[in-house]
Amino acid sequence: MDQRDEQEFAEYFAARRDAVRRTAYLMCGDWHKADDLAQTAFVALHRRWKKIRDRAATDAYVRKTLVRAVIDESRRPWRRERQTEVLPEPVDDSPGLAERVATREDLLAALKEVPPKQRAVLVLRFFDGLDVGAAATALGCSEGNVKSQTARGLANLRQVLEREVETNG
């Protein structure tokens, strides 16, 4: 790449890295994995930067690469999470904050139990704010597939959260 392309890529990276990292975190639930997944997406983008003609479609390309990386990562058996009984660090028990954190933690834990493709659709639709068409483009599938995956993902998420409420109140 020439100097101008490198500069354009650096500007794009600086502007979008936090948003891509947050999206990756919502899909995988782990900041370290999110960093790796975001890096994978940006490395793929860097390789193809010179060939991208429509710079307005760059976000869609990064999203699609990120979703594929999340799904690929979930298929690797040596990378699967292991559950532990003891948390590595204590949780802050401040009043007020505890309710928000518990709700957020419950949602993130429930998202982890939703299958990867459904999780990707839910994150793109409800956290990134994409409409059905944009999510379909990002995932490389039909709008009908996005709609059905959204319905199934929401049903799975609802089921997990209801089970959590019944168990822990």
pLDDT, one tens digit per residue, over 6-44 is 999 999 999 999 999 999 999 888 899 999 999 999 999
Indicate left, alpha or beta for 136 from its phi (over 0: left) and psi (-120 to 50: alpha).
alpha
Identify the CATH class of 95-168.
mainly alpha
Is residue 85 classed as helix, strand or coil in its secondary structure?
coil
| pLDDT for the residue 110 | 85
CA-to-CA distance for 8 and 2, rounded, in angstroms?
10
CA-to-CA distance for 10 and 46, rounded, in angstroms?
9
* Beta carbons of 143 and 97 less than 8 angstroms apart: no
| pLDDT for the residue 90 | 58
Task: Give the burial string for 126-149 (b: 16+ CB within 10 Å, else e).
Answer: eebebebebbbbbbeeeeebbeeb
Question: In the predicted model, is pLDDT for residue 101 greater than 50?
Answer: no
State the CB neighbour count (10 A cutoff) for residue 106. Answer: 15
Mean pLDDT of the chain: 83
CA-to-CA distance for 139 and 27, rounded, in angstroms?
13
pLDDT, one tens digit per residue, over 56-96 is 889 989 999 999 988 887 776 655 556 667 766 655 555 45
Domain locations in the chain? 1-76, 95-168
State the CB neighbour count (10 A cutoff) for residue 3. Answer: 7
Question: In the predicted model, is pLDDT for residue 53 greater than 90?
Answer: no
Q: Integer distance in angstroms from the first to the last C-alpha of the chain?
A: 57
CA-to-CA distance for 138 and 121, rounded, in angstroms?
9
CA-to-CA distance for 136 and 21, rounded, in angstroms?
21
What predicted TM-score, i.e. pTM, was given to this entire model? Answer: 0.56
* Beta carbons of 128 and 137 less than 8 angstroms apart: no
